[in-house]
Each structure stands twice: as structure tokens, then as C-alpha cells.
Amino acid sequence: MKAQPTGSPIREHHAAPFLAVTLGIALFSVMDGLMKGASLLVGAYSAMLVRSLIGTALMAPLWKWRGGHWPDRPTMKLHALRGAISGAMATSFFWGLVYLPMAEGIALSFIAPLIALYLAAVLLGEKIGRGTVLASLLGLLGVVVIAATRMGQSDLDPKAGWGIAAILVSAVLYAFNLILQRKQALVSGPVEVALFQTVWVAIFLGLLAPWLVVWPDALALTYIAGGAALAMVSLMVISWGYGRAETQALLPIEYTAFIWAALIGWLMFDEAVTWPTLAGAVLIVAGCLIAARKPTEQTAL
């Protein structure tokens, strides 16, 4: 076998970005479970703020050790924008998870890629085809199935409706996040992305700390620290994957989160997956897959 010349670049397997994003989604799902546990104890805002502070403490030395340099102004503005969106997105999502089962919350969040199609049309001038409209209707029907079933339960938590609304707000913000995700991955390395996203989340959430923060006890802090570590690893792994493959090719992997959420919800919170939740998730995912058949990239750049 002919030896590879010294100094030649190492070729990555074509499946590497897909495996990286799959691993990242799995780790993010475990993080969701830990953050739900922390949010039940101290509230979603405090859990998210402390997580971002711990994440900054974890990532700053690694960034410095890797020879990190201060981003230029346009890149820093991109980090700040995604940090603001991510902070609001994650806080609203974890707040919603307090009042909903994990599988149900994740299923509702799957509407985000469909929202991203319309955002891409508005922000990037992409055309909305007939398939996109059909995909959106399927996704909307899935949301209606899940929400109507939840709202029709006799033992409904009065805040469950607000939980559904919070998850859907989070989905809209995540759609913006999807558009920014690949653009950010193309101009910054995974360590820089993970560090400055968590830094800006901490800055924006910290503005409200004097009025809202509740310092976690030992159990909540354990959950948050574990969530922070998993979030940082997940951000780096997913950023690495999105820097090496198109967004539309990787988006279907997002739906593996439903499997992980169902498993973690069952293990940590004794949550059962209902048939309406499963049916709604199938409708939403079907809509997203129909939309993903468009031959041009949907949500990148």
C-alpha cells in the first residue's frame, strides 16, 4: 500500500459530518433532560444563566490553549446575534419543558425547519414552492394534533397552554438559529463558536439577574454543570459537522432528538409517549422531509 506523503491533508470520511451531528443531537437531548430537572428546581431563567456562566468558564481556557484570537467585528456581531437568539430560544424552551413531557416538547420544536423555509424566503429571497406549502400544512397539522390532545386532557396543568406557546416561540427563534448556524460555522472554528455563544448568552441573560436569578442548590447545580459540559461538547461537535456539509443534508438528523427525548423523559421523569404525540411528530417530520427534497440548500447562509 502506497504511503501518504508527509504533510498531505488527512481526508475525512464523507459520513463524518453526519455522525458528528448525530452525536451532538444525542448529547443535546441528554442536556435537555438535565436542564429540565434544574428548571423544575430553580426555574428556566436561573438554570440557563448559570449554565452559560459555567460554559464560559469551561470553554475560555480551551479557547486560549488552542491559540484562540479575538474575532473581527463582523464575526463578533454574528456571535452576539446568535447568542441573543440562543439565550431567548433555550430559556423559553426549558420553561415550556417544565409543563410538558420531553417528547412532546421536542416534537413541537420540530416545526422550526419549516419556519426556517419562510424566513429564508424573507431574508434570503428564496422562492416558496408548492411542496413547501404542503410541507407547512403537514407540520401545522402535527402541531394541532399534539396541542389539541394536550389541551383536551381533564387533568391539564393550567400552565400547559403557556408551555406549548413557549415551545413554539422557541421554535421560531430556532429557525433563525438554523439560518445563522452554518454561516457561523464557516467563519469560526467549533471552539470559538461554543465559547462566544455561551459568553453572549451569559451577557444578555445577566442583564436581568438582579431581579430574576435564583442561585441553585447542590442538586440543581449538579444538573446545570452536567448540562453545561454537554452543551459545550454538543456545540463544538455540531459546529464541526455543519462546517463540512450542507444544512439541508444535515437537517433530517435533527429528528433523532425525538427518540432520545422519549427515552430520557421516560428514564428521568417517568413520562410516557402518547399516540397523539407520536402521530403529531410523524406529521411534522414528514412535512420537513418533503421540504428537504428541494435540491438547493434551504437554511444556510
Query: Is the pLDDT at 157 greater than 50, yes or no?
Result: yes
Judge contact between 145 and 280, C-beta under 8 A.
Answer: yes
b/e per residue, 226-257, with b = 16+ CB within 10 A? bbbbbbbbbbbbbbbbbbbbbbbebbebbbeb
Q: Is the pLDDT of residue 10 over 50?
A: no
Q: What is the model's pLDDT at position 155?
A: 63
For 89-128, how does the pLDDT look when each residue is reduced to its tens digit (9 = 90+)?
A: 999 999 999 999 999 999 998 888 778 777 767 766 667 6
| Residue at grid coordinates 443534508 | 249
Helical residues (DSSP H) of the chain, grouped into ranges: 16-42, 44-65, 73-98, 102-109, 112-124, 130-151, 160-187, 190-206, 209-212, 218-242, 247-250, 257-269, 275-292
Cα(181)–Cα(137) distance, integer angstroms:
25
Coil, strand or helix at 156: coil
> pTM of the entire structure?
0.82
Domain range annotation of the chain: 17-108+172-274
What does the alpha-carbon distance between residue 187 and residue 184 come to, in Å, rounded to a whole number?
6
Distance between CA atoms of residues 137 and 143, nearest Å: 10
Average pLDDT in the chain: 84
pLDDT digits (tens, 9 = 90+) for 21-51: 889 999 999 999 999 999 999 999 999 999 9
Query: With 90 as the cut, is the pLDDT of residue 54 above it?
Result: yes
Cell of 293: 427534497
For the record, the C-alpha cell of 68 comes out as 484562540
Confidence band (pLDDT; 50, 70, 90) for 143?
confident
d(CA 118, CA 126): 8
